[in-house]
Structure 1
Amino acid sequence: MTHPLFRNVVHTAWNKGAPDVVKCLLEVQKDATSFNKKVFGNIFVKKRELERLLNDVQITLESREDQQLRIKEQVLRQELNVVLLQEELLWRKRNKIHGLFLVDGSWAMETSTLEMAANSFQKLFSTREDIDLDAMGHFPYPSLSTETCQKLVEPVTSEEVKGAAMSSFKAPGPDGFQAIFYKEF
């Protein structure tokens, strides 16, 4: 998504599948994968190469001042920053549980199985006893101002809903797309 030509890839792919949204998403997924391989390749190799080039330029600049090398250093820094952002987005995308190994050694990817596991962990790490709120004595409870209370009952705007419900980097849905894709395109 950080590449300037990616918007065109999405637009072209979307039009191939129109008017069926599911087909559109499949086309985008297919074309985005192809675009990624052709344009980005292995982002980790690209990062290492940029770091090596930048290091070489900086070592040369330590021994002699050269305006052309200073410009090259700036360009390499900018390219490296873009690659670092892309790497961060890649790691966020990979931060997802795709499945679990069950006790019998089988691999489970079904939503119901994953939800059951999540519920088990929630029960395991949640409190099971009532908590005595007065155990530490009396503490004054903070209160809200009249103005703040009024804001709580005001109608919710669509921007607030989008901001709260669609965190950009939550795990992808069943279609494989994170919320940032829908926000952007």
Structure 2
Amino acid sequence: MNIPLFGRKYTWHRMHHGFASLHKQLDRAISNVHWTRAFPEAVVEVLTRAHSDHHRLILRSSGGYMVAQKRPFQFEAAWFSHQGYEDVVLNAWRQSSGNILESLKHVREASLVFNKEVFGNIGLRKKILGARLRGLERYLEKVDSRRHALLYQELFQEYELVLQQEETLWYQKSREKWIKLGNKNTAFFHTQTVVRRKRNKILGLHLPSGAWCTDGNLLKQEALAYFKSLLGASEATLQVLPPCPISLSLEE
């Protein structure tokens, strides 16, 4: 897969009488799946040309100059695989007195606490459980212990649940709806998530003046100004519909 370019769209210019007449992206960097997973933020920066028709390229494994921003809240479907999460949602929802916005706020806050303190890091839990299972397997090869065999079965069931949660997590992030869950497609979903994030990531923009900008704060201001001008160009008139009469019978 191609590593995205940063800074310019083209890497080669053919000059004609001092003016650029032809632009192409001839030069590129290509990575395989394993390298992309190891360096998900990698970009290829296109530098200024010197004595060649080709721009100089530099591979940055840590990405561009953008500082990571706090992501908005996102519900994780894997939370519902935990037997205690339903009670967390119900208790949080009941904290407000009929206000839907307040109820949603309480659920969001309670979910974040649950994810941090109870659900935990799926990758870390998978690693710890895997290490414990391998240790028990080596022990049971030498000693016939019913207690350790029961412990192994208990941990193995927990390990299977973690694998299911991991697959659900990456399935949701990948947004690949055409492959069904349950076939251990975690690696595929993870790769698709990395590719989608690289494709959607904005490292810089051309300002109205034509200058190339990578400053995060300035990019925020430009994006906000653009959508304000786009959405605030005309005032929309909203018509309030009258209440719909209830015409269904008890049998219906």
TM-score by length of 1: 0.52
Partner residue, 1:48? 127
| Contact 1:100-1:109 within 8 A present in 2 as well | no
Q: Distance in 1 between matches of 2:148 and 2:223?
A: 52
Question: For this pair of structures, how many residues does the alignment match?
Answer: 112
For 1:3-152, list aligned pairs within 5 A.
3-95=82-174, 100-101=201-202, 103-104=205-206, 105=214, 106=219
How much identity, in percent, do the aligned residues show?
28
- Per the TM alignment, residue 66 of structure 1 is displaced from its structure 2 partner at its CA by 1.7
- Per the TM alignment, residue 109 of structure 1 is displaced from its structure 2 partner at its CA by 8.3
Structure 1, unaligned runs of 5 or more: 114-185
CA deviation profile, 1:80-130 (whole Å, cap 9, x unmatched): 0111122122223333668541643547989x99xxxxxxxxxxxxxxxxx
For the aligned residue pairs, the C-alpha RMSD in angstroms reads 2.8
CA deviation profile, 1:149-175 (whole Å, cap 9, x unmatched): xxxxxxxxxxxxxxxxxxxxxxxxxxx
Q: Distance in 2 between matches of 1:8 and 1:65?
A: 40
Q: Distance in 2 between matches of 1:42 and 1:95?
A: 18
Q: Distance in 2 between matches of 1:24 and 1:14?
A: 5
Secondary structure at the aligned position of 1:16 is classed as coil
The amino acid across from 2:129 in the alignment is L
Q: Distance in 2 between matches of 1:14 and 1:46?
A: 29
* Structure with more of its chain in helix, by fraction: 1
Q: Distance in 2 between matches of 1:100 and 1:47?
A: 29
Q: Distance in 1 between matches of 2:223 and 2:81?
A: 30
Partner residue, 1:161? none
Give the 3 Å change call, closer, same or farther, for CA 39–60 of structure 1 in structure 2.
same
Structure with higher Rg: it is: 2
TM-score by length of 2: 0.39
- Per the TM alignment, residue 23 of structure 1 is displaced from its structure 2 partner at its CA by 2.1
Q: Distance in 2 between matches of 1:36 and 1:19?
A: 25
* Structure with more of its chain in strand, by fraction: 2
